[in-house]
């Protein structure tokens, strides 16, 4: 069985006001030491449980993985190499906050086998970076980027957020032009979503956030697609753009609904049709793992129909869409036979494009993807 391996690091220097990820402000260094010990325990348990697993990709996400020292990250990855069969050509990615990098750490990341760096830039405008609660400024992003290139990283992604409070299309254009001028290999563009439990949500409820209108957000997104495609990026997934041969291989595992193993607090796994998650709270995660248990919080065995629906939804996120042959080979039934009503309705609405070989989102369908997805779920 081939797998993607995800390692979650939940700690950050500070919690951003928009963030609803499973992340926590680091209070003391001992938290990291205890957490790493728990990771080692969980990794060891799965190395014994999944003896035939071949790891095709590794992804260190968070939180802020680079809040760890270079030596800690190096040791964790070497431990994974000892316990798992990791493909010699595996894509190994780490997310990094530009405010947590230096030359020595980047050197150790390269030596550990990491070959893809994902920089959480979010904006190249210092005013917006401050509003987003980021610990870095625009110059820090640029410095980290070039330092990573000098250290040897040949595959760098830059994360950008848009539809920010008080942001207009011209602001976004300025940020994207600066990002593209660096010549990254990949760009991820995420529209700000106000999620319950965040500081932004509380401000939004009090009427304190001046957000772009839906039409303004649509104009921003359309401009982004055109601009990046004109500059040599392939729009291969709703929020992701890549230079040739630089797609995120790890994320493609998710979008193709293939198996993956998640290690760490709140990490999800999907193996042999069973999906489950770990305890989100790091204290609970550490306690369960160190007591010799797998830290599973809950899970479910997906029905055939649910696996079909998820395969469609995830596949439609990508430029390739959902192919009829692949669907039938995987599930033994015709996509058109099972979901004819939904497909025809969405085609008539101009949200889906149907050919002899596949279905995929139209440009309007990309923007209204959640509307499309709900049709298959309802």
Confidence of residue 29 (pLDDT cuts 50, 70, 90): confident
CATH number, residue 41: 3.80.30.20
Helix spans in 165-269 (H) = 169-181, 199-205, 214-230, 249-255
- How far is residue 77's CA from residue 64's CA, in Å, rounded to a whole number? 16
Query: pLDDT tens, 103-148?
Result: 999 999 999 999 999 999 999 999 999 999 999 999 999 999 999 9
Is the Cα dihedral 256, 3, 161, 185 positive or negative?
negative
329 and 191, same structural domain? no
Give pLDDT, residue 1.
Answer: 81
| Domain-located, residue 197 | yes
Please classify residue 1 by burial: count the beta carbons closer than 10 Å to its beta carbon, then call 0-12 exposed, 13-18 middle and 19+ buried: exposed
In angstroms, the first-to-last Cα distance of the chain is 32
| Domain-located, residue 25 | yes
Confidence of residue 52 (pLDDT cuts 50, 70, 90): low
Instruction: Note the pTM of the prediction, 2 decimals.
Output: 0.96
Q: Which domain does 139 fall in, by range?
A: 2-255
376, two tokens: 């298959």
Query: pLDDT tens, 57-101?
Result: 999 999 999 999 999 999 999 999 999 999 999 999 999 999 899
- How far is residue 334's CA from residue 323's CA, in Å, rounded to a whole number? 10
121-144 burial: b if 16+ Cβ within 10 Å, else e: bbbbbeebbebbbbebbbebbbeb
183 and 109, same structural domain? yes
175 and 321, same structural domain? no
Give pLDDT, residue 378.
Answer: 73
Number of domains composing the chain: 2
- Residue 268 confidence (pLDDT) above 90: yes
12 and 77, same structural domain? yes
Confidence of residue 155 (pLDDT cuts 50, 70, 90): very high
Domain boundary among 192, 225, 255: 255
């Amino acid at each position: 069985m081939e797998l993607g391996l995800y390692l979650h690091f939940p700690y950050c220097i500070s919690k951003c006001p928009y963030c609803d990820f499973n992340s926590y402000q680091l209070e003391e260094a001992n938290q990291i030491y205890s957490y790493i010990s728990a990771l080692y325990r969980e990794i060891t348990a799965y190395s014994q449980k999944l003896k035939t697993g071949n790891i095709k990709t590794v992804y260190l996400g968070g939180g802020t993985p680079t809040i760890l020292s270079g030596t800690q990250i190096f040791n964790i990855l070497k431990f994974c190499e000892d316990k798992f069969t990791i493909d010699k050509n595996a894509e190994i990615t780490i997310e990094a906050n530009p405010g947590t990098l230096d030359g020595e750490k980047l050197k150790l990341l390269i030596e550990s086998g990491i070959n893809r760096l994902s920089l959480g830039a979010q904006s190249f405008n210092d005013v917006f970076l401050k509003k987003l609660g980021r610990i870095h400024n625009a110059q820090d992003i640029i410095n980290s980027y070039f330092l990573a290139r000098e250290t040897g990283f040949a595959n760098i992604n830059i994360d950008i957020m848009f539809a920010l409070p008080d942001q207009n299309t011209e602001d976004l254009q300025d940020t994207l032009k600066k990002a593209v001028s660096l010549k990254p290999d990949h760009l991820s563009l995420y529209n700000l979503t106000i999620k319950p439990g965040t500081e932004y949500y509380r401000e939004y409820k009090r009427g304190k956030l001046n957000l772009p209108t839906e039409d303004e957000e649509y104009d921003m997104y359309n401009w982004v697609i055109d601009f990046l495609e004109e500059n040599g990026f392939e729009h291969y997934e709703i929020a992701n753009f890549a230079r040739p041969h630089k797609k995120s291989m790890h994320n493609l595992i998710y979008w193709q609904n293939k198996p993956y193993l998640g290690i760490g607090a709140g990490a999800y796994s999907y193996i042999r049709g069973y999906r489950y998650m770990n305890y989100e709270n790091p204290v609970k995660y550490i306690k369960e793992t160190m007591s010799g248990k797998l830290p599973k919080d809950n899970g479910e065995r997906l029905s055939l129909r649910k696996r079909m629906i998820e395969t469609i939804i995830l596949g439609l996120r990508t430029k390739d869409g959902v192919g009829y042959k692949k669907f039938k080979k995987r599930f033994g039934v015709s996509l058109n036979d099972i979901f004819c009503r939904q497909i025809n309705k969405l085609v008539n609405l101009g949200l889906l494009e149907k050919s002899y070989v596949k279905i995929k989102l139209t440009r309007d369908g990309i923007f209204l993807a959640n509307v499309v997805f709900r049709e298959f779920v309802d």
